[in-house]
Structure 1
Amino acid sequence: MKPFQLALVALCAWLPAAFAQHTGANHREHGAATPSKQAHGPYAGMQERAIKALSEQQLSDLRAGKGMSLALPAELNGYPGPSHALELAEPLKLTAEQKSRTQALFAQMQQEAKSAGEEVIAAEGALDALFKTKAATPGALRTATHNAAVAQGQLRETHLRYHLAMVELLSPEQVATYNRLRGY
């Protein structure tokens, strides 16, 4: 064998081993698993959730009727929410009647949002169950995703509707003050 051929054979034998070592060292440097260990994807651990698409925090927020940023189109476009209006009652100079009506609106919103949140949880649970039980078919999937989207839309509409009600309750000056105090 000629020296050039001998060097080429040695290089071909050495390259895979060198690449494997480099890749392993690179994984260790960046905190990733080495090739001999099990690598984890970004969803690792989520398989233990009761409903895979919902974290414990999301479940808690849905059950509590929290806004979860669902009303941002209203909030950031000059439509105050009842919860924050109550927090700012003093600087907004809410009248006794305005405060009473805002408290009533907030209580109604909470009741509706909790109910709508339970609908979201049920719809997401049904979607999860399709896959958990290996019963997912194109038709069942279409129905389940539609139901989940409708439930989410109804929850969002609930929160947004109460922002509309607050704009009717507050004066334009109070709305402007609300927006300024909230930093918008």
Structure 2
Amino acid sequence: MMIRALVLAAGVATGAVAQDAPYAGQDGRAIAQLGEADVAALLAGEGWGLARPAELNGFPGPSHVLELADELALSDDQRHEIEQIFHEMQNDAAALGARYVETEAWIDELFGDKQPDPEELTYLLRSSGEMLAQLRGIHLMAHIRTAPLLTPHQRMQYASLRGYGAPDHAGHEGGGH
């Protein structure tokens, strides 16, 4: 009930006109489930918000660490190791992201045929879900691999630079680090 109230309030706050048609304007998408920005992010191996649990719990992501390399005063060794993690993550995520996008396109195609086969749909949904879980794993593991390469001070600085509030939250070592 609380979630429904929040969703309705968000719709009112954003001036949503077609409350009964939440997908209005999305019928022209190439892939119904994914907008153009989503597809571009997935094909580029970008995070797509998949590692948010790590990011918000004190495990910095390699992409953002590299963006903040100067402010964090990364050593050459740190920068090199984090670049490796980033490139591996990005390459793996881009390859799998392309497969995920393709699977979502097949789901659209299945419904576009107007006679979707339930068995084929089940297979495609299972495949899509497994790929999404693997994509999350790729990104989350990159955060796990990046965090111990930074000093506690750098992790606190990172959290502050990224706009995360509580110092005890930002400095949380977690995972036995």
**1:177 aligned residue:** 157
Alpha carbons 1:86, 1:102 under 8 Å: kept: yes
After TM superposition, the score normalised by the length of structure 1 is 0.74
Quickly say closer, same or farther: Cα 1:90–1:54, change in 2 above 3 A: same
SS of the residue aligned with 1:104? helix
After superposition, the CA RMSD in angstroms is: 2.2
Alpha carbons 1:120, 1:151 under 8 Å: kept: yes
Amino acid at match of 2:107: L
In the TM superposition, what are the counterparts of 1:102-181 in structure 2 within 5 Å?
Answer: 102-181=82-161
SS of the residue aligned with 1:70? coil
After TM superposition, the score normalised by the length of structure 2 is 0.76
| Cα deviation digits, residues 40-70 of structure 1 (max 9, x gap) | 9332332222211111111111111111111
Amino acid at match of 2:152: P
Q: Which of 16, 19, 26 matches 1:46?
A: 26
In the TM superposition, what are the counterparts of 1:68-107 in structure 2 within 5 Å?
Answer: 68-107=48-87
User: Segments of 4+ in structure 1 off by > 4 A?
Assistant: 30-33
Q: Which of 55, 66, 71 matches 2:35?
A: 55
Larger Rg: 1
Quickly say closer, same or farther: Cα 1:101–1:49, change in 2 above 3 A: same
The size of the alignment, in residue pairs, is 149
TM superposition shift of 1:32: 7.1
Cα distance between partner residues in 2 of 1:52 and 1:148: 14
SS of the residue aligned with 2:106? helix
Cα distance between partner residues in 2 of 1:87 and 1:117: 22
Q: Any unmatched runs of 5+ in structure 1?
A: 1-29, 34-39
- The sequence identity of aligned pairs, in percent, is 41
Cα distance between partner residues in 2 of 1:67 and 1:31: 28
